[in-house]
Amino acid sequence: MSDKTSYTPDKVWQWNNASGGKFASINRPISGATYDKVLEKGEHPLQLHSLATPNGVKVTIMLEELLALGITEAEYDAYLVNILEGEQFSSGFVEINPNSKIPALVDNSGAEPIRVFESGSILLYLAEKFGKFLPTDIAKRTETLSWLFWNIGSAPYLGGGFGHFYAYAPEKIEYCIDRFAMEAKRQLDVLDKNLAAREYLAGDEYTIADIANFPWYGNLVIGELYNAQTFLDVSAYQHVTRWANAIQARPAVVRGQRVNSWSDDATAVPVRHSAADIDKTFK
């Protein structure tokens, strides 16, 4: 352990505006809106306000998978929320997600608008609304939901824990990186052992459990998430790699990862209004 710096917490914690590293300008210990702004609204009942982070990509993959099945009612308008600029603290966004985190969805197809926030909740809502990617058999459904909620409970240790201290923290702290690297590898081992005997996380069927976990763990082993592939020796998790490559090959997954993303010149991809918009952007 090379970091010997000791720290004695104050009796009462005080907010230091300079803390937080890369996210110092938007991190704060209070909730609520910081400025007034009405959210844009498109022509389709489903209105998505998000960004192509792992949690945001969960929802756009789900919507693109539904559209790939020919479910036109899943057509949606997507609006990019620039979290580095604090757009999640607008009055309009806070109205649909009081927690000020992306993604957030509004469904205007009924008599009254329904707001849905938290990525796992949105996946479950869409799966039940359209009757897809969630088995009806009680045992298979339960297994699917177990792996969905496993993701909700585990991913913060990968993102807010390992990812933050390895990639984003203003200084490298050995204890923190070791602590969360250990947990990230333990989680990969959990997935690898499960996938050794299954094609997908909940069995032989592609479900919202896979859609939820792929943007985190799939991109960790075959993508560039935190540029930590060598550090975490992700090639050792062969079953996770096989699973991730199979999901990445799905056209809807490719499309879903593009929506609300950033182009190479750091400009936002235009909002999505039709099934062809996102493909046109990248041609």
Average the pLDDT over each of 25-34, 44-53, 137-146 and give the range with the smallest value. Answer: 25-34
Query: Which pTM does this prediction carry?
Result: 0.92
Question: To which H or E segment does residue 49 belong?
Answer: strand 46-50
Record the tokens describing residue 201, joined without a space: 């996380």
Q: Which pLDDT tens digit goes with each residue over 71-129?
A: 999 999 999 999 989 999 999 999 999 999 999 999 999 999 999 999 999 999 999 99
Q: Do 119 and 146 have their domain in common?
A: no
pLDDT at residue number 157: 97
Burial 16-48 (b: 16+ CB within 10 A, else e): eeeebeeeeebeeeeeebeeeeebeebebbbbb
pLDDT at residue number 22: 72
Q: Do 74 and 119 have their domain in common?
A: yes
Asked if the structure places residue 127 within a domain, the reply is: yes
Q: Residue 197 CB: number of other CB atoms within 10 A? A: 8
Q: Do 90 and 118 have their domain in common?
A: yes
What are the φ and ψ backbone dihedral angles of 38, each rounded to 5 degrees?
-85, 135
What's 67's domain CATH number? Answer: 3.40.30.10
Average the pLDDT over each of 108-122, 160-174, 254-268 and give the range with the smallest value. Answer: 254-268
**pLDDT of 1 above 50:** no
Average pLDDT, the chain: 91
Domain containing 215 equals 138-249
Q: Do 162 and 120 have their domain in common?
A: no
Asked if the structure places residue 277 within a domain, the reply is: no
Q: Do 118 and 148 have their domain in common?
A: no
pLDDT at residue number 263: 56
Region 123-146: what's the mean pLDDT? 98
Q: Do 50 and 145 have their domain in common?
A: no
Q: Do 111 and 175 have their domain in common?
A: no
Domain total of the chain: 2
Average the pLDDT over each of 109-118, 200-209, 269-278 and give the range with the smallest value. Answer: 269-278
What's 224's domain CATH number? Answer: 1.20.1050.10
Domain boundary among 77, 101, 133: 133
**Sign of torsion, CA 41 46 49 51?**
negative
**pLDDT of 283 above 80:** no
Q: Do 103 and 163 have their domain in common?
A: no
Q: Do 116 and 166 have their domain in common?
A: no
Region 4-15: what's the mean pLDDT? 86
